[in-house]
């Protein structure tokens, strides 16, 4: 599948997930690539509570139920540091497949946000999306 670099199911031939690597091992390996960054930096920048991250790294807290958004936040943080990692590697490390395709995921996130907006803001979103569609058709 050819896709944008941030697609959730992407795989990288340059950085395949190590066989049998759990979340702690993956995070440790990725942190080693940035010796100037700490566990605390990772927790802060990815929006994860430090005690939670530390428990994962010490294997004192299970990782099978880590929210998808948290795994994606870890990927985003590492990538912002210049560390190559894919969502697939992160999800493999907790023993799960990357959920849904990119299109379904984007639609789901958009719908979740849209439903939380007041009706007048929902109308603004629809107008904006319609304008974007018109612009994209003329480009």
Give CA separation, 16 vs 60, 94, 115, in Å.
26, 15, 37
Same domain, 75 and 122: no
Which among 47, 42, 99, 45 is positioned nearest to 70, based on CA atoms? 47
- Would you say residue 23 has pLDDT above 90? yes
What is the distance between the alpha carbons of residues 27 and 10, in angstroms, rounded to a whole number?
19
* Residue 2 in domain: no
State the Cα angle at 15 between 10 and 17, rounded to 5°: 80
17 vs 91: which has the higher pLDDT: 91
CA 54 to CA 48: how far, in whole Å? Answer: 10
Task: Using the predicted structure, report yes or no on whether residue 2 has a pLDDT greater than 70.
Answer: no
Alpha-carbon Rg for the chain in angstroms: 18
Residue 109 confidence (pLDDT):
78
In angstroms, the CA 8 to CA 88 distance is 7
Count of structural domains within the chain: 2
pLDDT of residue 128: 93
Q: Are residues 80 and 44 in the same domain?
A: yes
39 and 69 share one domain: yes
pLDDT at 126 over 50: yes
- Are residues 79 and 40 part of one domain? yes
Domain encompassing residue 85: 23-93
Asked if the structure places residue 59 within a domain, the reply is: yes
Is residue 32 domain-shared with residue 73, that is, in the same domain? Answer: yes
The residue among 135 and 11 whose pLDDT is bigger is 135
Residue 5 has pLDDT above 80, yes or no: no
CATH number at residue 57: 1.10.260
How confident is the model over 90-99, as a mean pLDDT?
A: 89
């Amino acid at each position: 599948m050819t896709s944008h670099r941030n697609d959730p199911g992407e795989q990288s031939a340059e950085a395949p997930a190590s066989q049998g690597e759990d979340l702690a091992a993956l995070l440790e390996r990725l942190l080693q690539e940035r010796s100037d960054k700490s566990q605390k930096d990772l927790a802060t920048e990815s929006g994860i509570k430090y005690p939670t991250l530390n428990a994962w790294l010490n294997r004192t807290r299970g990782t099978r139920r880590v929210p998808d958004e948290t795994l994606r936040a870890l990927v985003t943080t590492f990538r912002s540091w210049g560390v190559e990692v894919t969502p697939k590697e992160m999800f493999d490390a907790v023993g799960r497949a990357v959920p849904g395709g990119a299109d379904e995921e984007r639609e789901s996130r958009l719908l979740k946000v849209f439903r939380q907006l007041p009706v007048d803001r929902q109308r603004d979103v629809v107008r904006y999306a319609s304008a974007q569609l018109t612009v994209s058709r003329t480009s």
